[in-house]
């Protein structure tokens, strides 16, 4: 990670303490110093410095306005006689911020915003804006987000799915909807956010429609789907990904078990469950399961009943190589996505329409996906592909196939 030395003046520090604009001025100064430092790295020389390592020459700057939640900033982007300084960081940052601001503006234009929302939009966008202002902003933002949402996808052996509940204003009433989201791990082990789908609820038909849409865009080769326990979702997996396995999230499963356990033994049972989930193989896990049943059957019958009923689904991942199990036994990856979405969604609370929800959440997910694509591999897939070959030759145990549940 690059490190930069930032200089802050006494005037900027006083401004930070005395008014709302102070933070915006400080951020603007910091970002402009970062840009100058990146320009020095780009040409390998300070301004007017003579050095043999120099690979280019500066050619002034151009103003680049960006809108943030602390106010409108003006960046002085360095220019060069040849080449261009990459500022992808600001491009990605801008999209999610734009989506948030446009949603706030829509709420103000439609007359459904609170005093807090009006104050924020006035600070970010100026005192006056109209429906035409919102429309102009959407022309630049919506096509980018929808192009990403509808892009072609391919083979993803592992699929992690989850949903969040959001509120949307329709016909003068506030209605609850579910935003379904899917993350895939590609054959190289890189995570990708595959899509989002706005649904009335998390019933089976909604999940099936979502999965059909993903397959229509090219999704194939799914071996394992990881999710929380939900009858509609599990049945949709069994129908739409025939031959694939379903892994029940062990974190949610543990919570479900402990909810039916007396508080006096919750801590001890939690520790025993963790040891069972971390067992090196299925035989060891079954031995540990039997010990838990013997020790807690009388103390926490309700919890043990839930454990026995869900054990096989929560241990499906045990068929995979040990080195990749840890990241596929829970939906923690999806939960972190949910947190990022919630951080933006809390400002809105109630979306003014369907499109605004898709735009904002889509922009946030798009930004995260771009970060993942340039980061480290999520899984080391070499062991997985060797295991696949062993399964095909009968030398290894394949994943259990997900089955539909009775209505």
| Total count of residues recorded for the chain | 407
Are 170 and 74 in the same domain? no
**Of 64, 86, 108, which residue constitutes the final position of a domain?**
86
Confidence category of residue 109, pLDDT binned at 50, 70, 90:
very low
> Does the residue 136 lie in any domain?
no
> What is the structure's pLDDT at 348?
73
Q: What are 255's two structure tokens?
A: 């919570």
For the entire predicted model, the pTM comes to 0.72
**Of 86, 110, 137, which residue constitutes the final position of a domain?**
86
Range of the domain at 272: 158-353+373-392
- Cα separation, 58 vs 62, in Å, equals 12
Are 67 and 168 in the same domain? no
On the question of pLDDT at 89 being above 70, the answer is: no
> Does the residue 401 lie in any domain?
no
> Does the residue 62 lie in any domain?
yes
> What is the structure's pLDDT at 340?
86
> What is the structure's pLDDT at 84?
75
Weakest-pLDDT range from 158-172, 181-195, 309-323, 365-379: 365-379
Are 164 and 273 in the same domain? yes
- Among 124-128, 133-137, 301-305, top mean pLDDT goes to 301-305
Contact 95/143 with Cβ under 8 angstroms? no
On the question of pLDDT at 273 being above 90, the answer is: yes
Confidence category of residue 67, pLDDT binned at 50, 70, 90:
low
> What is the structure's pLDDT at 153?
97
52 vs 18, more confident: 52
- Cα separation, 211 vs 240, in Å, equals 7
How many separate domains does the chain show? Answer: 2
Contact 134/109 with Cβ under 8 angstroms? yes
> What is the structure's pLDDT at 3?
58
> What is the structure's pLDDT at 206?
96
Burial 51-68 (b: 16+ CB within 10 A, else e): eeeeeeebeebeeeebbb
On the question of pLDDT at 116 being above 60, the answer is: no
Are 215 and 324 in the same domain? yes
Are 213 and 299 in the same domain? yes
Confidence category of residue 108, pLDDT binned at 50, 70, 90:
very low
- Cα separation, 262 vs 257, in Å, equals 10
On the question of pLDDT at 267 being above 50, the answer is: yes
On the question of pLDDT at 106 being above 60, the answer is: no
On the question of pLDDT at 214 being above 70, the answer is: yes
Burial 347-374 (b: 16+ CB within 10 A, else e): ebebbbeebbbbbbbbbbbbbbbbeeee
Q: Residue 65's beta-bridge partner residues?
A: 74
Contact 57/47 with Cβ under 8 angstroms? no
Question: What is the tens place of the pLDDT at every residue in 319-375?
Answer: 999 999 999 999 998 888 899 888 877 777 888 889 888 988 888 898 889 889 888
> Does the residue 361 lie in any domain?
no
> What is the structure's pLDDT at 55?
82
> Does the residue 42 lie in any domain?
yes
196 vs 37, more confident: 196
> What is the structure's pLDDT at 356?
83
> What is the structure's pLDDT at 387?
93
325 vs 4, more confident: 325
Are 211 and 291 in the same domain? yes
**Of 55, 86, 117, which residue constitutes the final position of a domain?**
86
On the question of pLDDT at 6 being above 60, the answer is: no
The three-class DSSP label of residue 362 is: helix
**What angle do helix axes 250-258 and 301-314 make, rounded to 10 degrees?**
170
> Does the residue 127 lie in any domain?
no
Question: What average pLDDT does the chain have?
Answer: 83
> What is the structure's pLDDT at 171?
85
Are 348 and 249 in the same domain? yes
């Amino acid at each position: 990670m690059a490190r930069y030395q930032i200089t802050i003046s006494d005037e900027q520090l006083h401004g930070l303490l005395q008014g709302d604009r102070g933070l915006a001025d400080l951020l603007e100064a910091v970002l402009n110093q970062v840009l100058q430092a990146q320009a020095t790295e780009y040409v390998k020389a300070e301004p007017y410095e003579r050095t043999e390592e120099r690979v280019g020459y500066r050619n002034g700057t151009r103003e680049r306005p960006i809108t943030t939640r602390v106010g409108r900033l003006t960046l002085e982007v360095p220019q060069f006689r040849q080449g261009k300084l990459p500022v992808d960081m600001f491009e990605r940052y801008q999209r999610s911020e734009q989506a948030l601001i446009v949603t706030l503006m829509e709420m103000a234009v439609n007359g459904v915003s609170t005093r807090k929302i009006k104050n924020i939009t006035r600070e970010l966008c100026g005192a006056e804006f109209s429906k035409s202002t919102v429309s102009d902003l959407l022309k630049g933002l919506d096509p980018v987000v929808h192009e990403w949402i509808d892009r072609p996808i391919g083979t993803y052996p592992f699929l992690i799915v989850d949903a969040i509940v959001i509120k949307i204003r329709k016909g003068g009433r506030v209605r609850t909807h579910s935003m379904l989201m899917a993350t895939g791990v590609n054959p190289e082990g890189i995570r990708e956010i595959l899509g989002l789908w706005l649904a009335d609820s998390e019933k089976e038909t909604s999940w099936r429609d979502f999965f059909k849409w993903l397959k229509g865009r090219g999704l194939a080769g799914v071996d394992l789907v990881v999710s929380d326990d939900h009858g509609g979702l599990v049945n949709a997996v069994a129908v739409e990904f025939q031959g694939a396995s379903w892994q029940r999230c062990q974190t949610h499963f543990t919570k479900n078990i402990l909810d039916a356990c007396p508080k006096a033994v919750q801590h001890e049972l939690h520790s025993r469950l963790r040891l069972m989930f971390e067992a090196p193989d299925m035989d060891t896990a079954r031995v540990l399961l039997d010990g838990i049943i013997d020790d807690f059957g009388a103390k926490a019958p309700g919890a043990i009943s839930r454990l026995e009923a869900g054990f096989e689904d929560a241990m499906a991942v045990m068929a995979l190589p040990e080195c990749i199990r840890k990241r596929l036994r829970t939906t923690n990856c999806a939960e972190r996505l949910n947190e990022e979405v919630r951080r933006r969604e809390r400002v809105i609370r109630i979306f003014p329409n369907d499109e605004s929800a898709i735009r904002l959440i889509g922009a946030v997910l798009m930004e995260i996906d771009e970060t993942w694509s340039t980061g480290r591999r999520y899984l080391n897939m070499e062991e997985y592909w060797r295991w696949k070959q062993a399964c095909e030759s009968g030398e290894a145990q394949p994943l259990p196939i997900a089955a539909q549940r009775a209505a």
